[in-house]
Chains A and B, each alone.
Chain A
Amino acid sequence: MATKSVMIVGVGGQGSLLASRLLGNVILAKGYDVKVSEVHGMSQRGGSVVTYVKYGEKVFSPVIEKGEADVIISFEQLEAARWIPYLKKGGKVITSVQKLDPMPVITGAASYPEDLIEKMRAKGIDVTAVDALSLAEEAGNAKASNVVLMGVVSTKTDFEDEIWQQALEQCVPPKFLDLNKKAFELGKNAAK
């Protein structure tokens, strides 16, 4: 199998580390070679963050470059748009519709572009957009929007639901497991 490349993008603090760990554990359970490259440190403080997940027979480079991603999973619209050049021709975008103003927009030095999802679709990109934040709040905590989004992702992969559930159990502390399982289900249903 050719190496598959998945990018998880968002704003520091939105929970991309948990999302990538979930996906990494699912891939490991399927017996693939896998690399997950994360960003820690300064960029985590509200900056644009990106995690790379690559899997296949044998993975070498842990990073994904322009034109290489099969899928971009985004927690925020502007971040989805920012990383579009990294998408392979025919690649998919799965994004939350959430918008977070970056500091240049807050200070008035720039404006937040309008209708980004429509503009992505106009370029022929396959975009799945969900209101992950509202669904996470429905599940009980706004912070679970990462897991909602992974629920959406699970419907776009060949990996069995059972394996996703096991990965959730491995990656989420027991006291938050029920909440996250609910968030995951809401994500799955939203994708239908």
Chain B
Amino acid sequence: MKKLLLGNAAFARGLYEGGCKFISSYPGTPSTEITEEAAKYDEIYAEWAPNEKVAMEAAIGASIAGARSFCGMKHVGLNVAADPLYTASYSGVNAGMVIAVADDQGMHSSQNEQDSRHHAIASKVPMLEPSDSQECRDFVMEAFELSEKFDAPVIVRTSTRIAHSQSIVDCEDRKELPLKEYTKNPQKYVMMPAYAKPRHVFVEERTQKLIEFAETSSLNRTEINAGTKTGIITSGAAYQYAKEALGDTVSYLKLGMVNPLPVKLIKDFAAKFDEIIVIEELDDVIETHCRKIGVNTRGKDIFGYIGEISQTIIAEKLLGKKNESVSLDENIPVRPPVMCAGCPHRGVFYALSKNKITVSGDIGCYTLGAVAPLNSMDTTICMGASISALHGFNKVRGAEAEKRSVAVIGDSTFMHSGMTGLVNIAYNATNSTVIILDNSITGMTGHQQNPTTGKNLKGDPAAAVNLEELCKAIGIKRVRVVDPYKLEETEKAILEELEAPEASVIISRRPCALLKYVKHNPPLKVENDKCKSCKMCLKLGCPAISIKNGKACIDHTQCVGCGICAELCKFDAIV
């Protein structure tokens, strides 16, 4: 059966066919749809965990219990889950365990461009890298087999272009597997020094066996074209770019397993050609390995370490070819992403911007508060850092900073790793003000449930964390809730809490305007005779409001009638 599937959907198909029984993940672009698609198969139990560390630990537990298990995350999520990963490498698996990590070359939706292969190398865990949707499905199934054969969790690394490209996939039926027997085995599963030392020996021996496997596995394949003088070593999306640019004018060694890398296979391939070029995105992992085993290559001197490679970059750098193209000789204004019309975060950021508050930001849709016209963010580091970094900032700058600074963090991000930062504020006492932007969903990744929403991944009712009670239990006495559509009330709450003599939490509560169950008001209109063209409403950065013929104008297809522009208008021109 042939289907046109997104890389992530093909990945989910591989999990299904490969007999996966348990999934625990945390959403992160471009990995999210693997878990969403897999959750559609009734045979698989799937959940959103509060963060990637919890997800991976849950998947490890399920594997030890005897079920093939999976956890998926984006590249930066693997940093959060690195702790269990490095030890799961030692303890290994019972039933197979597969980890998806989705890198984001080009930073389409991420705060950095790290290369996850380093985690596979450092944790000594095998890593596969598919080049299209068919390979996503095939490699996941192979990864389960490898995991059980070599007693290791196996990482499958994708990238934005693989995860979010659809291509044709040949699908088969699911292989239903019984639970493997669980036998108590502390020497394998209790990683304290006495038991971990022999496991490290095991890990090193396993790596040697994996290298032997890599020499002959069909995951790594050569494509020799007669008469060619250049050999290309490549993997992942870069393989596709190379094939498109260079066709059969070169030969290829396509590596489907990127950790550990083969030795003899590469040496034998290299011996056939005058010149070897490694085409790999981000870091020089394959190239460094080649040098280490005495194979001279070019690579990063041509392609560099930054962003995505493409067929035109390869054609230009290696063949000196450049496509002809036309341009309009016109200054085309950029169109950066913006907070949606009716976004509940807008009111909070307007109040912060107006009062020139220092804002310690976090990861989510609300990071868009950093851009014009709100320009209301000073820092964004990683998930959860808004709260912990604000504490450090305030500790060294003292009372004056405490009265002029806040942290902003979404509900899902707060559950992920913000609450531990709040514990630190309470425990180590800064007079910090934290705003939880509770839009009742994980927004940026496309509406995933989280522990505060009262629903689980399948949409069924679930326990909901009560944020007010949680913050109080942590030791924050001043906790209040505001509606960010009420501009005046929101601003007043922020200013009062900044002045308060102790730490406080403001929960800005209003569901995401894109949620299907949210009822919208009729779109607002500008009464032209009342509009004085003061442009006050434009300060909100609402994509539905613009100036047409000198007067404010509201796009009725976008406006959801949130009313904050009407609150702001001094002339009652917006109705």
Binding site for B on A (CB under 8 A): 11-13, 21, 24-25, 28, 33-48, 59-63, 65-68, 78-79, 81-82, 84-87, 89, 100-113, 116, 119-120, 123, 125, 133, 142
Contact = CB atoms under 8 A, between A and B. Distances in A.
A108 B328 CA distance: 22
Contact of A142 (B168, B368, B557): B557
Interface string B435-448: 00000000011100
B123 interface: no
Interface string B126-150: 0000001000000000000000000
Interface of B: 2, 4, 6, 29-30, 32-33, 108-109, 132, 161, 164-168, 237, 240-241, 243-244, 308, 310-312, 323-328, 330-340, 365, 367-368, 371-373, 444-446, 535, 538, 541-543, 545-547, 555, 557
Given A12-B337, A66-B323, A68-B323, A41 B555 contact: no
A65 B311 contact: yes
Contacts of B547: 106, 108
8 contacts: A33-B168, A39-B108, A45-B337, A61-B240, A87-B326, A104-B333, A109-B333, A109-B372
List the 5 closest A-B pairs by CB distance, nearest first: A67-B323, A41-B109, A41-B29, A47-B337, A102-B335
A21 B3 CA distance: 12
Nearest to B245: A61
A102 B332 CA distance: 10
A41 B372 contact: no
B337 A120 contact: no
B332 A62 contact: no
Contacts of A104: 333-334, 372
Contacts of A84: 326-328
Contacts of B445: 41
A46 B541 CA distance: 12
A192 to B, nearest CB: 26
B326 A41 contact: no
Nearest to B330: A113
Given A11-B335, A106-B546, A81 B330 contact: yes
Given A62-B240, A108-B535, A78 B311 contact: no
A102 B338 CA distance: 9
Given A41-B30, A46-B338, A112 B333 contact: yes
Contact of B326 (A36, A89, A103): A89
A141 B347 CA distance: 29
Given A45-B337, A48-B334, 6 more contacts: A12-B337, A40-B32, A40-B109, A40-B446, A103-B373, A105-B546
By secondary structure, the B interface counts as loop
A191 to B, nearest CB: 23
A102 B340 CA distance: 12
Given A85-B327, A106-B543, A60 B240 contact: yes
A29 B33 CA distance: 24
Contacts, number: 192
B109 to A, nearest CB: 3
Given A35-B165, A45-B365, A103-B371, A87 B325 contact: yes
Contacts of B30: 40-41
Contact of B335 (A41, A48, A59): A48
Contacts of A45: 337-340, 365, 368, 444
A86 B325 contact: yes
B333 A102 contact: yes
A36 B333 contact: no
A38 B332 contact: no
Contacts of B373: 103, 106-107
Contact of A13 (B161, B165, B340): B340
Contacts of B33: 40
B165 A113 contact: no
B310 A40 contact: no
A81 B328 contact: yes
B134 to A, nearest CB: 11
B4 A47 contact: no
B240 A101 contact: no
A107 B554 CA distance: 14
A132 to B, nearest CB: 12
Given A81-B330, A87-B326, A107-B373, A43 B337 contact: yes
Given A67-B323, A86-B325, A40 B29 contact: yes
B240 A42 contact: no
A80 to B, nearest CB: 10
B325 A62 contact: no
Given A42-B108, A113-B331, A61 B164 contact: no
Contacts of A60: 240-241, 243-244, 311
B244 A61 contact: yes
B168 A28 contact: yes
Nearest to B161: A62
A37 B365 contact: no
Nearest to A123: B326
Nearest to B556: A142
A107 B538 CA distance: 6
A110 B333 contact: yes
Contacts of A59: 167
A36 B166 contact: yes
Contacts of A25: 4
Contacts of B312: 65-66, 68
Given A62-B165, A68-B323, A41 B108 contact: yes
Given A47-B337, A65-B310, A103-B371, A125 B167 contact: no
Contacts of B365: 42, 45
B559 to A, nearest CB: 12
A37 B30 CA distance: 12
A95 to B, nearest CB: 13
B368 to A, nearest CB: 7
A105 B333 contact: yes
A63 B538 contact: no
A27 B308 CA distance: 27
Nearest to B539: A107
B161 A106 contact: no
A68 B371 CA distance: 32
